[in-house]
């Protein structure tokens, strides 16, 4: 029985199998059968006998058509059969090589087909069994290794040399011969082999002198592999260097950057993202952006300067060792460049706020970051007489604050006005000025009379987002700022009232934007709230009638000389309800007591109320004294020879009235001592004048109110009333007869008797019956003794005539008769 086995292998592969034979039967004599293997084939090597424990085998180097030879282990030989009881096994091994592709089999015929015959037989009797197999092996040339894909292509920025990198392709049959590097300046070719690499493990190559900086270079790497005489090359893909082109768009002021991909499409192992790098003059390379496109645009403003770009792209699956983890490589483009120039100024700056630092007085200016990316700085101008004067320049697009410590915004002018221009990085193109923005000028005026300070300030203009309010702050005596008011943006004044005398107030205004995010602070102004000293007191010490009633009423007024007053208004009233101004007095700051005489006062008919009103330096009524009332005294005579005196009580003493002293004059002569001193509660007096009946009967009175102790001002004043006079009615008593020889002395002389008869014009005449004047006297109290010319007159009836003027000027006359008794 025969079986054919066919196999095809590549040169270099090993053909390896086991041959087994088995027949578990016994011979007729009861012994086990013996199995045997026999082998034939021209590619088996020479028989090698067993040595020691090593079994017999066929040589792998000799005895065959072409070494390496096929072997069996153990191997059969006619002299040493390969046998075994019941079963037998051998191991076939053949290492094919390229020499086996064409072996001379004789007659000039070459073949790559090798046949081996293997027999398995037993010794059964009488008919042994036999089985054989024909093994036919065809040896084919080794397969070629795929040409690699170039995963990274990089251009040296200095030399223009090109570096290539690829991955290792598996060569399990070790057929690699070389890598051949081809290059062309055009994608369509022709391609020229520029080098070969004979080391399977060298996976990169640098094309020196490629000059790929200025043009695209195209490459492919072809792998040469296979058996000698059967060498082959696989197709290879073409890869290009990445060339960056840069163009300046001077209309849009942009850099237009473009490049070609190294392959289209990109390898699946590529990240697909290009990293873009840029270099300006005198700067280092910097990463700009990344993109999956092959173009990139960015704003670019340069000052007649060259700007360079290059891109990179990364591959993530570079294999340099079969079975190891891959690594990354990066393709780097050539450098593209162009000349960029800028004749466009930056945008007009927008001032954010202009504010005065109240601690330093310096002006702090801030503005928005300019929208032009090539802004190199900002020029700060101060407006002087309508012209912009540059005071400083700050550099950097993000430098958006400036402190003006030179130009005082709080000086005579009261405010500073600023404008700002932007300058580009070329330092040649300057924008127009932005809007003028001024600090707020704050002025304070004091009205000490109305107890207020008025603030006025200039409006703040060009506040971003609009003006929301003005906040008014005050700092009293270096304390914390206090918000006095938050007012409408249309109101630029404020009145501060309720001031504390002697306090120093520092004021400032904050202009607040509509959205509340921005503020501008004014200059700081201060004001002393030196309100004039207000009078602490005003006191009418006394209201005293001038002696004789002809000089009105004398007033003494006690004033506060420390107060700042303009004058004192003296007012008078008869009913304590309606007041009339009688005079205005100028203060005497050296003498606290002011005297005034009210000459118009009708002192004999009316008691007057007086008060003093202090007019402060602002013309306002600052203080009113306590009312004072003068004393009106009245007197009248009585029939019982008693004079009745009464008066109004005095009002106004701080210490109150302690007593009243009553003074009296008789016939015009004043007694320097009071007739009586009465308590303050008694305002009347009855004066018995009987003992003064021999006087003229003219009486006059006044009282003096005495101030009591305990007065605040420690005065001991007095107030005099008007004087009031009265006349006691004269009374005359004339005898009707007298006797010079009477026993009664009183009856011996004819004497008219009376009381309160004024002796100044007294006349007493006696006439006889013939009308002859026989007696005359001008002395009160003298009488006729009944004689005439020193002789006794005859008894009989005589007539008399008496005339006198009373103290109140009334002439009295009396005529009558008297009888002289002898």
Q: Choose among 429, 424, 427, 405: nearest CA to 416.
A: 405
What proportions of the chain, in percent to the nearest 5, are helix, strand and coil? 0, 50, 45
What are residue 483's DSSP bridge partners? 473
Pairing of strands 130-140, 2-10: parallel
Q: How far apart are CA 776 and CA 764, in angstroms?
A: 5
Q: What is the pLDDT of residue 249?
A: 85
Q: What is the pLDDT of residue 172?
A: 79
Q: How far apart are CA 779 and CA 757, in angstroms?
A: 10
361: left (phi over 0), alpha (psi -120 to 50) or beta: left
Q: Which DSSP string corresponds to 86-113? A: SEEEEEEEEE--GGGGSEEEETTEEESE
Q: What's 618's DSSP letter? A: T
Cα dist. 169→11, 144, 195, 203, 423 in Å?
19, 11, 19, 10, 60
The sign of the torsion formed by the CA atoms of 602, 607, 613, 619 equals: negative
Q: Choose among 272, 279, 339: nearest CA to 303.
A: 339
Ordered strands of the 162-166 beta sheet: 150-155, 162-166, 204-207
Q: How far apart are CA 753 and CA 761, in angstroms?
A: 16
Q: Phi, psi at residue 788, to the nearest 5°?
A: -145, 125
Q: How far apart are CA 171 and CA 186, in angstroms?
A: 32
Q: What is the pLDDT of residue 2?
A: 60
- By CB atoms closer than 10 A (0-12, 13-18, 19+), residue 433 is middle
Cα dist. 269→72, 142, 330, 549 in Å?
48, 29, 12, 134
pLDDT tens digits, residue range 224-235?
A: 888 877 777 778
Q: How far apart are CA 720 and CA 543, in angstroms?
A: 8
The total of other beta-carbon atoms located within 10 Å of residue 490's CB is 8
Cα dist. 820→742, 752, 763, 787, 790 in Å?
11, 14, 20, 10, 16
**690: three-class secondary structure by DSSP:** helix
Q: How far is CA 310 from the centre of its chain?
A: 47
71 neighbors 106 (Cβ within 8 angstroms): no
Q: How far is CA 411 from the centre of its chain?
A: 25
The overall average pLDDT reported for the chain is 91
In a 13 Å sphere around the CA of 170, the CA atoms on its Cβ side amount to: 4
pLDDT tens digits, residue range 340-353?
A: 777 788 999 999 99
Q: What is the pLDDT of residue 126?
A: 80
- By CB atoms closer than 10 A (0-12, 13-18, 19+), residue 508 is buried
The total of other beta-carbon atoms located within 10 Å of residue 654's CB is 19
Q: How far apart are CA 763 and CA 758, in angstroms?
A: 10
Q: How far apart are CA 168 and CA 27, in angstroms?
A: 62
Q: How far apart are CA 399 and CA 396, in angstroms?
A: 5
Spell out, as residue ranges, where the chain has pLDDT lower than 50.
1
Q: What's 691's DSSP letter? A: G
Q: Phi, psi at residue 143, to the nearest 5°?
A: -70, 150
Radius of gyration of the chain (CA): 75
Q: Choose among 7, 4, 18, 11: nearest CA to 93.
A: 18
Cβ within 8 Å of residue 496, ≥6 positions away: 452, 453, 454, 455, 472, 474, 484, 505, 507
312: left (phi over 0), alpha (psi -120 to 50) or beta: beta
Q: How far apart are CA 696 and CA 806, in angstroms?
A: 7
Q: Choose among 690, 693, 410: nearest CA to 525.
A: 410
Q: Choose among 717, 796, 804: nearest CA to 759.
A: 804
Q: How far apart are CA 477 and CA 502, in angstroms?
A: 9
Q: How far apart are CA 525 and CA 504, in angstroms?
A: 10
Q: What's 809's DSSP letter? A: S
Q: What is the pLDDT of residue 98?
A: 86
Residue 693 tokens, joined? 């009946």
Q: Which residue has the tokens 């309720």?
A: 498
Q: Choose among 37, 5, 2, 33: nearest CA to 19.
A: 37
- By CB atoms closer than 10 A (0-12, 13-18, 19+), residue 111 is middle
Q: How far apart are CA 231 and CA 225, in angstroms?
A: 5
Structural domains in the chain plus CATH codes:
2-140 (2.60.40), 144-342 (2.60.40.10), 631-728 (2.60.40.10), 731-820 (2.60.40.1220)
Cβ within 8 Å of residue 789, ≥6 positions away: none
Q: What's 736's DSSP letter? A: S
Q: How far apart are CA 150 and CA 144, in angstroms?
A: 18
Residue 585 tokens, joined? 């007095």
């Amino acid at each position: 029985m025969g079986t054919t086995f066919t196999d095809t292998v590549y040169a270099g592969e090993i053909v390896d199998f086991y041959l087994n034979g088995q027949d578990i039967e016994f011979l007729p004599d009861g012994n086990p059968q013996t199995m045997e293997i026999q082998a034939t084939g021209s590619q088996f090597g020479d028989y090698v006998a067993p040595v020691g424990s090593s079994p017999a085998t066929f040589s792998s180097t000799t005895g065959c058509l072409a070494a390496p030879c096929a072997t069996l282990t153990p191997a059969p030989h006619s002299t040493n059969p390969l046998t075994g009881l019941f079963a037998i096994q051998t191991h076939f091994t053949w290492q094919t090589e390229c020499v086996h592709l064409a072996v001379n089999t004789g007659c000039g015929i070459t073949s790559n087909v090798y046949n081996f015959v293997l027999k398995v037989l037993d010794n059964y009797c009488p008919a042994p069994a036999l089985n054989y197999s024909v093994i036919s092996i065809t040896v084919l040339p080794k397969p070629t290794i795929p040409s690699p894909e170039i995963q990274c292509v990089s251009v040296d920025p200095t030399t223009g040399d090109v570096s290539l990198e690829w991955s290792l392709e598996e060569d399990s049959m070790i057929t690699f011969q070389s890598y051949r590097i081809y290059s062309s300046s055009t994608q369509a070719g022709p391609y020229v082999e520029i080098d070969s690499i004979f080391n399977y493990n060298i996976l990169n190559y640098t094309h020196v002198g490629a000059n790929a900086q200025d043009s695209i270079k195209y490459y492919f790497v072809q792998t040469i592999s296979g058996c000698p005489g059967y060498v082959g090359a696989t197709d290879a893909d073409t890869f290009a260097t990445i060339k960056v082109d840069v163009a300046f768009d001077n209309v849009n002021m942009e850099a237009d950057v473009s490049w070609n991909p190294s392959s289209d499409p990109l390898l699946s192992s590529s990240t697909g993202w290009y990293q873009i790098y840029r270099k300006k003059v005198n700067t280092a390379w910097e990463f700009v952006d990344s993109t999956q496109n092959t173009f990139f645009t960015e704003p670019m403003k340069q000052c007649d300067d060259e700007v360079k770009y290059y891109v990179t792209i990364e591959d993530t699956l570079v294999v340099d060792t079969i079975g190891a983890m891959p690594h990354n490589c990066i393709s780097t483009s050539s450098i593209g460049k162009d000349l960029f120039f800028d004749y466009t100024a930056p945008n007009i700056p927008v001032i954010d706020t202009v504010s005065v630092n109240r601690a330093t007085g310096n002006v702090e200016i801030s503005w928005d970051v300019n929208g032009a990316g090539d802004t190199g700085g900002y020029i700060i101008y101060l407006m002087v007489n309508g012209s912009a004067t540059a005071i400083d320049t700050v550099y950097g697009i993000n430098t958006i604050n400036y402190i003006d410590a030179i130009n005082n915004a709080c000086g005579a002018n009261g405010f500073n006005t600023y404008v700002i221009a932007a300058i580009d990085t070329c330092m040649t193109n300057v924008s127009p000025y932005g809007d003028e923005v001024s600090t707020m000028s704050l002025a304070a005026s004091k009205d000490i009379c109305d107890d207020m300070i008025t603030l006025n300030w200039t409006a703040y203009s060009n506040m971003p987002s609009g003006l929301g309010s003005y906040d008014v702050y005050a700092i009293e005596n270096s304390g914390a700022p206090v918000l006095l008011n938050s007012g409408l943006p249309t109101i630029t004044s404020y009145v501060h009232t309720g001031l504390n005398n002697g306090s120093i107030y520092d004021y400032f205004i904050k202009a607040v934007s509509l959205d509340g995010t921005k503020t501008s602070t004014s200059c700081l102004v201060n004001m002393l709230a030196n309100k004039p000293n207000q009078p602490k007191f005003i006191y009418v010490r006394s209201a005293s009638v001038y002696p004789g009633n002809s000089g009105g009423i004398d007033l003494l007024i006690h004033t506060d000389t420390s107060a700042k007053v303009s004058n004192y208004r003296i007012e008078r009233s008869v009913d304590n309800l309606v007041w009339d101004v009688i005079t205005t007095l100028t203060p005497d700051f050296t003498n606290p007591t002011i005297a005034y005489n009210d000459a118009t006062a009708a002192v004999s008919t009316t008691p007057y109320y007086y008060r003093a009103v202090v007019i402060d330096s602002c013309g306002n009524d600052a203080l009113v004294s306590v009312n004072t009332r003068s004393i009106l005294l009245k007197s009248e005579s009585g029939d019982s020879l008693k004079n009745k005196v009464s008066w109004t009580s005095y009002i106004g003493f701080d210490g109150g009235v302690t007593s009243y002293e009553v003074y009296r004059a008789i016939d015009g002569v004043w007694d320097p001592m009071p007739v009586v001193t009465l308590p303050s509660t008694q305002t009347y007096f009855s004066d018995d004048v009987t003992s003064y009946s021999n006087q003229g009967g003219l009486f006059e009175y006044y009282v003096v109110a005495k101030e009591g102790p305990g007065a605040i001002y420690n005065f001991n004043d007095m107030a005099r009333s008007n004087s009031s006079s009265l006349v006691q009615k004269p009374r005359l008593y004339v005898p009707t007869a007298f006797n010079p020889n009477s026993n009664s002395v009183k009856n011996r002389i004819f004497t008219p008797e009376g009381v309160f008869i004024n002796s100044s014009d007294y006349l007493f005449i006696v006439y006889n019956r013939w009308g002859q004047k026989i007696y005359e006297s001008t002395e009160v109290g003298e009488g006729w003794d009944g004689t005439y010319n020193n002789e006794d007159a005859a008894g009989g009836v005589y007539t008399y005539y008496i005339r006198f003027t009373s103290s109140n000027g009334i002439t009295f006359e009396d005529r009558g008769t008297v009888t002289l008794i002898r």
